[in-house]
A and B are shown apart, each in its own frame.
Chain A
Amino acid sequence: MSNNLKCTDFEENLSDYIDQSLSENDRIALETHLHSCPTCSELLSGMKLVMAVGRDFPIHTPPAWLATRIVANTPPPRASIRKRLAAFAQSLLEPRTALAIFTAAIVMGWIGGGSVRGAVMDRAEGVVSCAYDHAIRTYYRSPVIIEIHSRFDQLMENS
């Protein structure tokens, strides 16, 4: 830093000067300028005042209800899928849930177990027989089978 310091140079280094982080030469250059420039001298005083005020800035106490309001407005955390599955499995193992499932199974079996099972079986049998009929009809109506059968009949008559 030259000894013919300008005010702008002085301003740029003012914080470093206050923090005492300038080299010896730079400090001397700044102080030389400071003694000859009332504007910069005033600026230095102003900056020191600003820093002093900043250090003792009043600390305001937030309203007593603020923390309570923040906590009350914090949404409950969303559990991970793993945790939710674990909770579900845990609920299944609870005696109340097991008893409810067991009771429901017995009641359903008692009310409609037979008819339900019968209906399902009837339906299954219907589907199978329908498919069987369809296959038989297709077999006997196919031209190849008809030809084979007619040849076979002719052979029987000739013999």
Chain B
Amino acid sequence: MGTTDAELLARCRNGEHAAWDMVVRQHHQRIYNLAYRYNGRFDEAEDLTQEIFLKIYRTLHTYNSDLGAFETWMMRVSRNCIIDHYRKLKTERRQTDSLEGEHEQVAEVGNRFSNPADMLDHRELSERVHAALIRLSGDLREVLILRDLEGFAYEEIVEIVQVPIGTVKSRINRGRVELAKMLKREF
């Protein structure tokens, strides 16, 4: 995070709308993709992205640049927001339906191919991995998204998820193993 971004945040805190507009435009693609990776639905990702940014705006005064990069803080806020969102959905018993629906849709595409070698074009494989990822438990899914899809370092994941590094590493390993086994069963 450069000086320009720090200044931008200071201007946001002073209520400058143009500065907030710039922050949103700079980061919304990343947040949108993060939300999509968690749930596999574009419409939900759009709503979640907005929800996340409103939360970021409301809590902007709590960000302290001495304690870490803005992006890491932003991802932590996003992750908490996503978890809260799905916790609410879970209590309403809607989450399972939507995720299963999405998964079935992706699985159907995969089943058209009899030979895995034919199927493994990149897009197809990504969809399969994503569908399997969504079926992982929340704890494993989030660290895998942060590590393997978003490319965060272990230390940054510790900061975002707020669990010890040993737990992060163990969850990442378990997540990868489960994912590999799921894909193997499908092929």
Contact = CB atoms under 8 A, between A and B. Distances in A.
A16 B53 CA distance: 36
A14 B177 contact: yes
A59 B29 contact: yes
A69 B36 CA distance: 18
A32 interface: no
Contacts of A63: 46
Interface stretch (A48-56, A128-136, A138-146, A151-159): A48-56
A123 interface: no
B37 interface: yes
B28 A70 contact: yes
A55 to B, nearest CB: 7
A71 interface: yes
**Interface residues of A, dominant DSSP:** helix
A74 B151 CA distance: 29
A61 B25 CA distance: 12
Interface size of B as a range: 35 or more
Contact of A53 (B32, B36, B125, B169): B125
Contacts of A46: 179-181, 183-184
A76 to B, nearest CB: 7
Interface size of A as a range: 20 to 34
B33 A59 contact: yes
Interface string B24-64: 11001100110011000010011001100110010000000
Contacts of A71: 17, 20-21, 24
B172 interface: yes
B11 to A, nearest CB: 11
Nearest to B120: A49
Contact of A15 (B15, B54, B173): B173
A66 B180 contact: no
A56 B120 CA distance: 14
B180 A56 contact: no
A61 B29 contact: yes
Contacts of B180: 43, 46-47, 49-50
B149 interface: yes
Nearest to B42: A60
A62 B45 CA distance: 9
Given A42-B184, A51-B176, A66-B28, 20 more contacts: A11-B173, A12-B173, A16-B169, A43-B180, A43-B181, A50-B148, A50-B176, A50-B183, A53-B129, A54-B129, A56-B122, A56-B126, A60-B33, A60-B36, A62-B49, A66-B46, A66-B50, A67-B25, A73-B50, A74-B54
24 contacts: A14-B176, A15-B176, A43-B177, A43-B180, A46-B180, A46-B183, A47-B180, A49-B183, A53-B122, A55-B151, A57-B129, A62-B32, A67-B24, A70-B50, A70-B53, A71-B17, A71-B20, A71-B24, A74-B20, A74-B53, A74-B57, A76-B15, A76-B17, A79-B15
